[in-house]
């Protein structure tokens, strides 16, 4: 620790021996810096404080009836967008700042300056906003703050109205679109129901019952047909027996041609014994036999047929009527059977279509219900939006109260010249001290036994004191007086600049005087 203290004291002695560099740095930096600080233009700050009251008596009453928005979020969004280019252009026009520029480059620079220097702060718990702006003109800063305040309030209120109008327009557009969809869905559903009336839900049980009924009728018809066919076969068998009996009776009928045919047949046999079949006599006899046979047949036919004989029987007549009735009944039952079979096939085919029809109907109903639900929801939302709009016209969700209106500042807020002047002095001392230290290390001066030992590495056996001459002492005293005088003058200059910059009125007079004589 002792060594560190000795090293520090050694460095201080080195800096003191090179103190002329401190003096040079002070005289070069301080005057220039103090004059530059004094000539810096005044900066004026204007501010406005506004309170945004987001409380409304209608909000609890309209809960569930109107669209509720969060005013705090709206305010936060307005604050974030206040320094957008569009709003900055409004502020520039309202404060007449745009008349100060001559071209687009200067105009862009103006907007950038406004964006950089306009500041909006909000307290953590309350909606109390402070708008500040810093510039070199008192009236200009007041106009800019007033314009920013107006834009802030107008944007908040205008944004609410614009959002409401946009929401109403969008909802009306959606209502028209969904109304068209709903009408189309209703038409599709009605057309489908008309086309597939027999297949609609609830008719499936009817189909099954109808199918079972038709199947039962088909079985009954087939049973009746089988019975009728059996009866018909029996009746036809009995009728055939009666006709056979009548035929046997007919075969026993004799005619006048029987003997002649027998005689001619005997003669033919004799001729065939003697001649061939082509002999004219044989051919003639055969012709006569055929002619007699035809005459016999005609006589039998005209005399009494088996049917005529049978017709005289009552049983035969009843059987014939029964067969006719049974044939008609069988034909009718066959037609009925075909119709019942076709009906069964038709009902079975329709039953296979029922699931597809129900699936399509379910899809149409689902689409219709969804569209209807959306349409009714949009109607409800439009009513809520209209209530919100009416409530917005009656009372505002956000009420602004200006706590402190912007005023023209009488006293500049900056720059902080006394601090800057002190900073210039400290900077000059630091530069001078750094130069002195650097030169003391580059060209060191031995001022102690310890330093001599460190520089040479040889042990110091003794010290011989030197007596300075009167001439050297005068030189040293003159250097010291010059150093003190220089520092005194700098100190007076420091005090003078501090006084000037601490008194704004005096500072303004001096600046105005210098400007009047053409020095500024």
- For residue 383, is it within any domain? no
- For residue 388, is it within any domain? no
One domain for residues 230 and 301:
yes
Structure tokens at 317: 């007549």
Lowest pLDDT segment from 4-13, 82-91, 300-309, 457-466: 300-309
Q: How far apart are CA 61 and CA 387, in angstroms?
A: 12
For 388-405, give one letter per residue: b (16+ CB within 10 A) or e: bbebbeeebbbebeeeee
Structure tokens at 340: 């019942």
- For residue 184, is it within any domain? no
* CATH code (residue 209): 1.10.287
* CATH code (residue 96): 3.30.1890.10
One domain for residues 222 and 130:
no
- For residue 197, is it within any domain? no
One domain for residues 101 and 159:
yes
Q: Which residues, in sequence order, are CB contacts of 236 under 8 Å at separation 6+?
A: 323
Q: How far apart are CA 317 and CA 340, in angstroms?
A: 34
Q: What is the tens place of the pLDDT at every residue in 54-67? A: 765 445 444 544 44
- For residue 195, is it within any domain? no
One domain for residues 250 and 314:
yes
Q: What is the tens place of the pLDDT at every residue in 194-209? A: 777 666 655 555 656 7
Q: How far apart are CA 333 and CA 221, in angstroms?
A: 6
One domain for residues 218 and 361:
yes
Structure tokens at 478: 């003159």
Q: What is the tens place of the pLDDT at every residue in 257-291? A: 777 778 878 877 787 777 777 778 778 878 888 88
Confidence tier at 46 by pLDDT (50, 70, 90): very high
One domain for residues 68 and 153:
yes
Q: What is the tens place of the pLDDT at every residue in 71-102? A: 667 777 778 888 889 999 999 999 888 888 88
If one counts the domains in the chain, the total is 3
pLDDT at 370 over 80: yes
pLDDT at 29 over 50: yes
Q: How far apart are CA 457 and CA 108, in angstroms?
A: 69
Tokens 């001649």 belong to residue: 275
Q: How far apart are CA 476 and CA 125, in angstroms?
A: 68
Which neighbouring-strand residues pair with 48? 131
Q: How far apart are CA 329 and CA 448, in angstroms?
A: 156
Range from 15-24, 52-61, 334-343 that averages highest in pLDDT: 334-343
In percent, the amount of the chain with pLDDT more than 90 equals 14
Cβ–Cβ under 8 Å, residues 304 and 250: yes
Average pLDDT of span 150-174? 74
Q: How far apart are CA 500 and CA 444, in angstroms?
A: 42
Average pLDDT of span 162-179? 79
Alpha carbon 312 to its chain centroid, in Å, reads 101
Q: Residue 132's domain spans which residues? A: 45-179+397-404
> For the chain, what is the mean pLDDT?
78
Cβ–Cβ under 8 Å, residues 129 and 33: no
Confidence tier at 396 by pLDDT (50, 70, 90): low
Q: What is the tens place of the pLDDT at every residue in 401-434? A: 888 999 998 888 878 889 999 999 999 999 988 8
Q: What phi and psi, each to the nearest 5 degrees, are found at residue 133?
A: -150, 140
Average pLDDT of span 42-50? 91
Q: Indicate the DSSP class of residue 255.
A: -
One domain for residues 60 and 105:
yes
- For residue 474, is it within any domain? yes
- For residue 379, is it within any domain? no
One domain for residues 173 and 251:
no
One domain for residues 213 and 324:
yes
| Beta carbons within 10 angstroms of residue 209's beta carbon | 10
Range from 20-24, 33-37, 282-286, 341-345 that averages highest in pLDDT: 33-37
Q: Counting runs of H as helices and runs of E as strands, what totals does the chain give?
A: 16, 4
Alpha carbon 198 to its chain centroid, in Å, reads 42
Q: How far apart are CA 201 and CA 215, in angstroms?
A: 23
Q: What angle do CA 426, 428, 429 make, to 5 degrees?
A: 65
Choice between 170 and 160, residue whose per-residue pLDDT is larger: 170
Sign of CA dihedral 272, 277, 279, 283: positive
Cβ–Cβ under 8 Å, residues 95 and 46: no
Sequential DSSP letters for 269-283: HHHHHHS-TTSHHHH
One domain for residues 419 and 341:
no
Q: Give start and end residues of each alpha helix (H) in 18-70.
A: 20-39, 58-61
Q: How far apart are CA 405 and CA 402, in angstroms?
A: 6
Choice between 499 and 4, residue whose per-residue pLDDT is larger: 499
Lowest pLDDT segment from 103-117, 258-272, 319-333: 258-272
Q: Which of 267, 265, 247 is nearest to 257 (CA)?
A: 265
**What does the pLDDT read at residue 397?**
60
**What does the pLDDT read at residue 91?**
92
Q: What is the tens place of the pLDDT at every residue in 436-471? A: 888 877 776 666 666 666 666 677 666 666 555 566
Choice between 294 and 388, residue whose per-residue pLDDT is larger: 294
One domain for residues 152 and 76:
yes
One domain for residues 231 and 365:
yes
């Amino acid at each position: 620790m002792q060594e560190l203290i000795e090293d520090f004291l050694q460095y201080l002695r080195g800096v003191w021996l090179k103190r002329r560099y401190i003096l040079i740095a002070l005289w070069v930096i301080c005057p220039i810096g103090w004059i530059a600080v004094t000539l810096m233009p005044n900066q004026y700050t204007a501010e406005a404080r506004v309170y945004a009251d987001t409380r409304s008596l209608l909000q609890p009453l309209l809960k569930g009836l109107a669209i509720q928005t969060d005013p705090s979020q709206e305010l936060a969004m307005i604050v974030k967008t206040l320094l957008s280019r569009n709003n900055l252009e409004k502020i520039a026009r309202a404060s007449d700042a745009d008349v100060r520029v001559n071209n687009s480059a200067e105009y862009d620079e103006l907007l950038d300056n406004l964006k950089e220097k306009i500041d909006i702060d909000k307290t953590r718990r309350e909606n109390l906003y402070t708008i500040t702006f810093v510039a070199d003109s008192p009236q200009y800063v007041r106009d800019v703050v007033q314009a920013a305040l107006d834009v802030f309030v107008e944007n908040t209120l205008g944004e609410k109205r614009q959002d409401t109008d946009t929401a109403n327009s969008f909802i009306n557009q959606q209502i028209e679109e969904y109304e068209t969809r709903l009408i189309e869905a209703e038409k599709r559903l009605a057309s489908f129901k008309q086309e597939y009336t027999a297949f609609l839900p609830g008719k499936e049980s009817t189909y099954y019952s109808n199918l079972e009924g038709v199947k039962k009728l088909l079985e009954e018809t087939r049973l009746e047909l089988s019975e009728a066919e059996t009866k018909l076969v029996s009746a036809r068998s009995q009728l055939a027996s009666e006709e056979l009996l009548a035929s046997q009776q007919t075969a026993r009928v004799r005619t006048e041609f029987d003997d002649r045919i027998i005689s001619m047949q005997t003669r033919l046999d004799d001729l065939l014994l003697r001649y061939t079949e082509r002999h004219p006599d044989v051919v003639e006899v055969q012709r006569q036999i055929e002619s007699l046979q035809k005459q016999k047949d005609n006589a039998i036919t005209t005399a009494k047929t088996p049917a005529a004989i049978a017709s005289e029987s009552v049983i035969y007549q009843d059987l014939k009527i029964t067969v006719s009735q049974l044939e008609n009944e069988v034909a009718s039952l066959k037609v009925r059977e075909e119709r019942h079979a076709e009906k069964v096939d038709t009902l079975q085919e329709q039953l296979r279509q029922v699931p597809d029809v129900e699936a399509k109907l379910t899809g149409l109903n689902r689409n219709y219900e969804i569209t209807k639900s959306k349409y009714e929801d949009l109607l409800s939302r439009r009513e809520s939006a209209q209530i919100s709009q009416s409530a917005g016209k009656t009372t505002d969700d956000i009420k602004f109260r200006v706590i402190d209106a912007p005023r023209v500042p009488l006293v500049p807020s900056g720059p902080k010249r006394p601090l800057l002047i002190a900073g210039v002095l400290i900077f000059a001392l630091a530069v001078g001290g750094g130069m002195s230290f650097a030169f003391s290390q580059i060209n060191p001066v031995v001022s102690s036994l310890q330093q001599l030992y460190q520089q040479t590495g040889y042990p110091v056996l003794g010290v011989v004191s030197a007596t300075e001459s009167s001439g050297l002492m005068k030189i040293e005293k003159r250097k010291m007086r010059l150093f003190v005088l220089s520092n005194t003058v700098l100190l007076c200059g420091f005090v003078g600049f501090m006084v000037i910059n601490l008194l704004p009125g005096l500072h303004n007079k001096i600046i105005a005087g210098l400007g009047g004589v053409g020095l500024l």
